Amino acid sequence: MSRVRAALALAGVHAGYGRTEVLRGVSLTVPPGKIVGLLGANGVGKTTLLRVAAALVRPAAGEVSLGTADVTRLGAHQRARSGVCLIPEGRGIFRSLSVRDNLRMFLRSGAEADLGTAVDAFPVLGRRMHQRAGTLSGGEQQMLAVAKAFLCRPAVVLADELSLGLAPKVIEEIYAALRLLNDQGVGLLVVEQYVQRIVELADSLAVLSKGQVAWSGPAGELDEQALLDSYLGTRADSAG
């Protein structure tokens, strides 16, 4: 499958909701074909950062770029067509539609033969094609949400808490699919609650604290103090 290789970058982004500023000068890059893990306590801005990247929240200041293109002013639909795929917390599937119809909505070419790429990643979906998505188990619904990334040919996938509430075996299947996407040249920005899992998956990590990047670097060099400060809500000693 041909994919566009492009880096996603946020530079000096300030964003929030109404008068509440959530992100305060955040800069972060997802290099082409790399996995970046995003860590931090609840409420520090992780989901907001993904929503800015997907154009669901417009930044008050700063820029968002994809490759060499400034996409800050593009809307969500245009951002998606440019190669950004968001898998939101809560799955974001159409519960009243069948599994097949859910998947068909994300076919870039409209060719149903491409559905095979999603079924290859999650064989259980092939046995559920005519079943309403809302009747799937929680794990199967999450697989369906991730499966769209195999159909829309993204350059970058934004994944928000995919393991939340799932059994360990299902999490392993989800993570195997993320690795498969990455092997195909897709960059990933992954928000994850389980530190050890994301350390094992990611090439690099960024720790958010109070709406700012408290630390960033290779996954194997995670600054435990910056991570602890983030989860305790105290000020981190280092910035990146």
Confidence at residue 135, expressed as pLDDT on a 0 to 100 scale: 96
User: CB–CB of 13/29 below 8 Å?
Assistant: no
Look up the pTM and report it.
0.90
Confidence at residue 5, expressed as pLDDT on a 0 to 100 scale: 54
Confidence at residue 6, expressed as pLDDT on a 0 to 100 scale: 63
Q: What is the pLDDT along the chain (240 residues), one digit of tens a residue?
A: 444 456 899 999 999 999 999 999 999 999 999 999 999 998 899 999 999 999 999 999 999 999 999 999 999 999 999 999 999 988 789 999 999 999 998 887 666 777 888 999 999 999 999 999 999 999 999 999 999 999 988 999 999 999 988 999 999 999 999 999 999 999 999 999 888 899 999 999 999 999 999 999 999 998 888 888 777 664 433 333
Confidence at residue 233, expressed as pLDDT on a 0 to 100 scale: 60
By CB atoms closer than 10 A (0-12, 13-18, 19+), residue 110 is: exposed
The ranges assigned to domains in the chain are 8-232
User: CB–CB of 117/152 below 8 Å?
Assistant: no
Distance CA 222, CA 230 (A): 13
Confidence at residue 85, expressed as pLDDT on a 0 to 100 scale: 95
By CB atoms closer than 10 A (0-12, 13-18, 19+), residue 184 is: middle
Distance from the Cα of residue 228 to its chain's centroid: 23
Longest dimension (CA), the chain: 53
Distance CA 101, CA 148 (A): 11
CATH number of 8-232: 3.40.50.300
Give the tokens for residue 196. Answer: 């050890």
> 167: closest CA among 199, 140, 148, 189?
140
